Structure 1
Amino acid sequence: MKRFIIAALAVSMLAACKNETSEKKVNNKNEKAEKLAPINDSILGQSVIYEANIRQYSPEGTFNEFTKDIPQLKELGVKVIWLMPVYPISAVKRKAADGRFAEEIEDPKEREKILGSYYAISDYTGINPEFGTLEDFQKLVKTAHDNGIYVILDWVANHTGWDHVWIKEHPEFYTKNEAGEIIDPINPETGESWGWTDVADLNYDNKALWTEMRKDMRYWVEEQNIDGFRCDVAGEVPTEFWESAVEEIKQVKPIFMLAESEDKDLFEAAFDMGYNWEGHHILNAIAQGKQNAKDLSDYIKKIDTTYQQDDYLMNFVTNHDENSWSGSVNERMGDAAEVMTALIFTLPGMPLIYSGQEYDMQKRLRFFEKDTIPHQQNKFWPILSKLGTLKNESPALDGSKTPAEFIEIQNSDEHSIFSFVRKKGEDQIIFIGNLTNSVKSFSIAIDGQFIDYMNNEKVFEIKKNQQFKFSPWEYKILIIRQ
C-alpha cells in the first residue's frame, strides 16, 4: 500500500494543479468490439469488478440472459466480471435453507425447489445445466471480451460436493476422522465443524491432489479462455498450493487472482487482490453509529503499515455472503448507503458491484433456491455510472499495484468528517463526507474553487476558515478546477 500521510493542503499546492478528469460522456452503443489486451496491472488499477449471480440475475437464471446485459455493464465502469460458481452442484446432501438436505424432504415439489449451494461442486470442469450449456458459457466469455471486459471464475479449492468423482476414485484426497470417514470442513481454531455439511473437506497433505486441482484450473484458462479466479476461503488452502497453481497457469497467459482473504502472505506470489473485510465491517459500523470517521482513518493508517506497497484490497458495500446472510445494503447501511458507495470507489483498492446493487435491490437473495434481482434502474444506476466513469478515467483513483497517493486532509471534526485527496501526477480527486446521521458544521484545511463532480459539475468554493454545514451522510467529490 501507499505510504499514508496526514497533511494540511495549502492553496498554492492545489490551485496550481491542472484538472484532466472532468466528466466525459460515455456512449458504448456504437463502439466496435475491442481487441482485448492481456490482463495487467495498468488495467486493473482503474477497474470496477462485477460479481454475477447467474441463478438470481434473471427470471430464467441462465448465462444467455446475463450475456444480453454485458454491454451495459461498461456504463458502470466494469472491466472484470466475477462469475459465481458455474459448475454442477452435488445432488448428494444438497442443502436447503432450513439446514435439511433435499433428499430428506418428502414433498417432491418442495424438493425440486432446492437447488443447493453453488459452492458444493460435483465436477470442476463441468457446467451447471441450470445455467445453460458450455456453448452458452463460451458465448458469455466472448461477449465480455468483445466489450473489453475480463472474466474470472469462482474457484472452490477447499472442498467438493459429496458426489464428486474423487469421493469414490480418490478418497485419499479428503480429510477423514478417526473412523476413516470423510468429513465436512472443520474450524482449525476450534476443531469443530463450520456447519458446511453439504461439502467434503479436501486434504492438501496429499500432493497428488495438488496436481489434479491445478489441472482443472488450467483447463478453464487454456480451453475456455477465462482470465483468472476468485478463490473461495483462500486462506484455508496452503499458500504454497496457490503459488504453484499460479506459476503453472501463467505459462498459458497472464491471469488475475482474487483471494477471499485478507491474509497478506497470499499476496507474495499467488494473489493480486484480497477482500477488504475489516474495512467493510467498519463502514457497516459507521452507518449504524457504532464507529466513526476517526476509526476509518485509523484503519487506513494500519493497513498502510501492515501491507506491502503493491498489495491491494477489494472494497465493497455488499456481496453474495453479505446480502444473503447479513442483510441488504439498505438493512445494514440505510441512508448512509450512497456515501459508503462513494467511498469504496474513491478509497485505494478496487470497488465491487454485486448483482442487484445497481438496481437498488432491497431484499436478501435466497441462497439455496431460485430468486430474482430487480431490473428497474432507479437511484443507484446513475450514481454507479458516474463513479465508474471517474474510476476508469482518473489516474488519481488508481488503486492497484502502483496506486495513487492517499493524503488525509485535516478538518475541524475528525470524528464526523472524513476528508482526503487522491493524486497521481497532476490529477487530483478530493473527497469530503459527513459520516454521521446528524447535521455537522466544520472547517477544512484547503481553499480554492473546485468542480463538484456528483452535482452536475457545479462550482464548489472553499475559503480559508469557512464553516460548512453538511447534512447527514452528505458528501462531495471535488475535482480541481483548471
Structure 2
Amino acid sequence: MAYSPWIGNFKVNGRWGNYGTVKLLLDETMSGTAPGRLQVSVEIAAQGSQPEEFEVELFSNLNRRDFVRTHEPLADSGGPTSYWMPYRMSFQGRSFDNLVFTLELPVQKCGAYRITARYRSAGSDTWWWHNDFSPWPGQPSQRDCAVVVSPGKAAQARLYEANALTVEALAGGSYENRSTLDDFLSTHDFDGFNPFQLTYINKELGFNTLWLMPVFPNTQWRWDRQKWDWATNDSPGSPYSSRDYWSINRWLADNAAPARALELFQTLFREAKDDDLDVFIDLAFNHAGRDVIYGAGAVDLGFCSMQEQEEWVRQHRPSWCTRGTAFVDGHSVPYYREAAHSDFECAVWAPADRLNEHIWDDANVDWFFGDYSALGPKPGRGTDYWGNPVTHWDPKGNAEDERDILYSDLASDSETERLWQYFGYILPYWIEKSGGKLAGIRADFAQGLPNQLWEYIVNRTRKARWDFIFLAEVLDPDVIQYRLNRVFDVLTTKDHHLYRMNAVRMTDLFHSLEAESTLFGGEALVMHNGTSHDEMGNDNKWAMMARYAVTASIYGCPMIFMGQPLGLADKLPFRDSWANMYKAWTDDIPEREAVGRMYLKINQAREATPELREPNRYFLCLVEGGFHEEIYSVARWRGEDGERDAVTLVFVNLDTSHGNAGTFRLPGAIRLSGEYQARNLVADDPNRTLWPAARNAQDIYDNGIYVVFTLPNEVQYLKLVRV
C-alpha cells in the first residue's frame, strides 16, 4: 500500500532501524549522567515540501519499564504514567530532497524497548506511521527498532550449571540417594558427603553465577507411546515440564517436605550472596505438565481462590491452553492458533505448533499466549508425530516469520491478558521469596513465546530488580535467533560442539564467532559453552579446560556444566534415571585439582582484565599470513573510552597431544606506543615478565609475538604491560 509522503530511512545510532536491534549496557547505580544515548533520525520523502508542513514524532517505551502493562490504547499514551511516549523530532536538514528529522534520547533504565516514528501534516489529526510503509515496493512493511538495555553485569557473568538432584547424589542411583539443596550449603549439609558446595563453584573454580536447573515440582504424568496411554513420570521425569510455578520441588529437601525445600532454597540464596555468587533459575514458560496447577501466584492475582489453587489449569481454565492440532489429508489444521474450549480439546503434546520437532511426552500443556505471526511450524515439508508426511504452510505466518505481528486481543480482562499477567508475576514473586537475591533466568525454549510477551515479562521483572538478567535458549534458524536477540540480554550459541571437539581448529572458531557477530551485531552477548544438560561432554579434562579458555576470551558469557571439570563425557540422563556423580567425586584422579586451578586462573584473569569483557577483538594471523590452525589466537583491547594501552593477547593450544609454536602479527588497530613487557595472566606467577627485555611498539608491529607451547592444551593470556 503506497502513501505520499513516505517516511523511512529510520536510523538509530547510525544503523538502520527497520527491524534493527540496538544493544546497550547500563549500570543504574552509577551517579551522574546516563552513559548511553540514542541518536535517532528519520526521513520524509515529500518532494518540494517544507519542514514546517509536518509534525514528526518518535514513539517509544524507552525508560518506561516502571509503567509496563500488557497493552496500552494509543489514546492513553503520552501521560505522566503512560507506558508509551511521543517525542517531538527536530528538522535537521535535507538528504537529497528528503526532509531529515532527528532526536537524541538518554538511556536511563534497563529494559526491553521498541521505538518507531510517525508524522502528520500540520493541522491534521491523522498520523502516518513508519510501520505503514514498505522500504521498497513489494517488500514487507517497515517495523519497530528494538532497544535492549541490559545490566552491565551481564557481560561479567561466568556460569556454572548444576542439577540439584544429581550434583552430589550418593552411589546407587535412586530416589533415596538423590542430592538436595542442602548439598550446596556449607552450614546445612545433612548427609556427611560434601565434596561440592557453593564455595567450590566460586572459590575453587572462579565462577560468579550458579545456573540451577529447574527447581519447581515437575509433572507426574507422561504419555507412553508404546502403551498409548498415560504413565507415571517419577523416574524422576523432566524438570522442564512444571507442575507448579509457585513452589519448590519437595524432592530438593532432605525430608521431602515442601516447606523445608523452600527454606533451603532461601538459605542457598543467602549463602550465595555471602560468597559473591549470583543464582539463576531455569524456567520453561512455553509448556508445562498435564497436571499443572494454578498455584499461589494465581491466588495473589485474583485468578482463583485459595481453595482452588491446587486445581488443574487445563480443567478450570482451558482457554489458557492451546487447542490440539488436527491432521486432515496430510495437512496440519492450525488449531495451534486457537485456545482450547475444554480439557478434552487441550493439545496433548507441546509445543503444539512444532509438529515434527520439539515434541516432549511429559509436556502436555501448551500455553496459549495468543495468536501471532511467528506462531507455527517452520515452512516446508516434514513429518508429523507419527512419521507421516506433512506440508507446513499457514497463511498467517510461521516460526521464521519476521513481521512481528500480534493478532490477539489484549483487551482488559481477556483470557490472554490474564495469562500474560500470570507469567509476568512469576519472576517478581521469586525475587521476593529469595529476599531480592534471584539474579536471572535461563529461559528454556524461549522462542515459544511472542516477543511482545517477553518484553512485558522483562520490564515487569525489572520493576522488582533492575539488574535481573535474561538468558534465552534458542537453537533454531538465524531468523528465530535474531528475533529473540531483540528482547534478551544473552543468547545461547548454536555451535556448542566446537567447544568440546578435540579436532576443532582456528578456522572453525573464527567462522562461528564471526557469523554470530554478523547475525546479532558485535555488542550482543552470546553464551559460549561445550557442555550442558543437553550437550554431551568430552572426558579429556585438559582439552575441555582449553576450550573453556577460548570461551572466556570472548565478549559474552562463558559457561560450563557441572561435570566438565571432572572429566564427565555424559550429559547425565536427568529425565529417565536418578543420575549421580558419586564416582566422579570419589575416584582418585590426581590431575583434577590442577585442572580446577586452571579454571580458577582463567576466571580470575577474565575478572581482572576489562578488555576481555568488552567487544573489541581481532583474530591474529601468523607473520607469514593465515591462521595457525592448531592455535586459537585473538587480541582483545579496550575501546576509546578505556585505557589506551589495555591489551591482552589470548593463545590456546588446540592440539590435544602435542606442543605448538608460532609468531603472530599484531594489526595497527591495536594502539600501542612506548615500550612493553608481557605477563601470562594464567601462569603460576602471573606477575613474572616473559621477555628478556622490554620491546617497543614498532618492534612488536614489525616482528610479531612469538608464542611457544610445550604442552598440549596449554593456555596463555598475555597481558602487554607498558614499561
Measured against the shorter chain, the TM-score band is: 0.7 to 0.9
1:428 aligned to 2:635? no
Aligned to 1:305: 518
Q: Give the Cα separation in 2 of the matches to 1:99 and 1:357.
A: 35
**Counterpart amino acid of 2:361?**
T
Cα 1:371–1:379 change in 2 (3 A) is farther
Aligned to 1:477: 717
Q: Which moved more, 1:238-247 or 1:86-95?
A: 86-95
Aligned to 2:141: none
1:170 aligned to 2:398? no
Aligned to 1:378: 593
Aligned to 2:88: none
Q: CA deviation at 1:277?
A: 2.2
Structure 2 length normalisation: TM-score?
0.54
Cα 1:465–1:357 change in 2 (3 A) is closer
Structure 1 counterpart SS, 2:279? strand
Q: 1:94·1:117 contact (CA, 8 Å) conserved in 2?
A: no
Task: Report the structure, 1 or 2, having the larger helix content.
Answer: 1
Cα shift readout 1:391-410 (whole Å, capped 9, x = no counterpart): 11111211xxxx24212222
Cα shift readout 1:104-149 (whole Å, capped 9, x = no counterpart): 58xxxxx96x111111110000110100221111111111122222
Q: CA deviation at 1:73?
A: 2.3
Q: CA deviation at 1:307?
A: 1.7
- Which among 467, 470, 484 is matched to residue 257 of structure 1? 470
Cα shift readout 1:5-48 (whole Å, capped 9, x = no counterpart): xxxxxxxxxxxxxxxxxxxxxxxxxxxxxxxxx99734333331
Aligned to 2:360: 196
Q: Which moved more, 1:373-382 or 1:54-63?
A: 373-382
- Which among 533, 536, 558 is matched to residue 320 of structure 1? 533
Aligned to 1:117: 238
- By relative contact order (CA 8 Å, sep 6+), the higher-ranking structure is 1
Aligned to 1:14: none
Q: Give the Cα separation in 1 of the matches to 2:560 and 2:508.
A: 24
Taking every aligned residue pair, what percent have the same amino acid on both sides? 22
Q: CA deviation at 1:389?
A: 0.9
Q: What pairs with 1:195-274 in structure 2 (closer than 5 Å)?
A: 195-200=359-364, 201-205=366-370, 206-224=416-434, 225=436, 226-254=438-466, 255-261=468-474, 263-268=481-486, 270-274=487-491
Q: Give the Cα separation in 2 of the matches to 1:136 and 1:58.
A: 15
**Counterpart amino acid of 1:175?**
T
Q: Give the Cα separation in 2 of the matches to 1:128 and 1:102.
A: 26
Q: CA deviation at 1:275?
A: 0.6
Q: 1:317·1:344 contact (CA, 8 Å) conserved in 2?
A: no
Q: Give the Cα separation in 2 of the matches to 1:147 and 1:335.
A: 27
**Counterpart amino acid of 2:558?**
P
Aligned to 1:85: 214
Q: Give the Cα separation in 2 of the matches to 1:302 and 1:264.
A: 12
Q: Which moved more, 1:170-179 or 1:244-253?
A: 170-179
Cα shift readout 1:320-357 (whole Å, capped 9, x = no counterpart): 111xxxx2222xx7763232111111122111132232
Q: Give the Cα separation in 2 of the matches to 1:355 and 1:160.
A: 25
Cα 1:281–1:356 change in 2 (3 A) is closer
Q: Give the Cα separation in 2 of the matches to 1:465 and 1:123.
A: 59
Cα 1:120–1:150 change in 2 (3 A) is same
Q: 1:229·1:258 contact (CA, 8 Å) conserved in 2?
A: yes
Q: Give the Cα separation in 1 of the matches to 2:285 and 2:356.
A: 20
Aligned to 2:256: none
**Counterpart amino acid of 1:83?**
L
Q: Give the Cα separation in 1 of the matches to 2:607 and 2:358.
A: 39
Q: 1:186·1:192 contact (CA, 8 Å) conserved in 2?
A: no
Q: 1:54·1:63 contact (CA, 8 Å) conserved in 2?
A: yes
Q: Give the Cα separation in 1 of the matches to 2:603 and 2:228.
A: 41
Q: Give the Cα separation in 2 of the matches to 1:228 and 1:467.
A: 42
Q: CA deviation at 1:473?
A: 4.0
Q: CA deviation at 1:175?
A: 1.9
Aligned to 2:285: 157
Structure 1 counterpart SS, 2:471? strand
Structure 2 counterpart SS, 1:231? strand
Cα 1:450–1:193 change in 2 (3 A) is closer
1:184 aligned to 2:399? no
Stretches (4+) displaced over 6 A: 98-103
Structure 2 counterpart SS, 1:55? coil
Cα 1:297–1:448 change in 2 (3 A) is farther
Cα 1:164–1:467 change in 2 (3 A) is closer
Aligned to 1:53: 163
**Counterpart amino acid of 1:210?**
W
Q: What pairs with 1:433-452 in structure 2 (closer than 5 Å)?
A: 433-436=652-655, 440-445=660-665, 449-452=677-680
Cα 1:271–1:220 change in 2 (3 A) is same
Q: 2:241·2:288 contact (CA, 8 Å) conserved in 1?
A: yes
- Which among 395, 399, 419 is matched to residue 633 of structure 2? 419
How many residues align? The count is 421
Q: Give the Cα separation in 2 of the matches to 1:82 and 1:445.
A: 39
Structure 1 counterpart SS, 2:369? coil
Q: 1:47·1:392 contact (CA, 8 Å) conserved in 2?
A: no
| Ranges in structure 1 where 5+ consecutive residues have no aligned partner | 1-37, 106-110
Q: Which moved more, 1:191-200 or 1:435-444?
A: 435-444
Task: Report the structure, 1 or 2, having the larger strand content.
Answer: 2
**Structure exhibiting the larger radius of gyration computed from Cα positions:** 2
Cα 1:453–1:249 change in 2 (3 A) is closer
Q: Give the Cα separation in 1 of the matches to 2:207 and 2:707.
A: 34
**Counterpart amino acid of 1:406?**
R
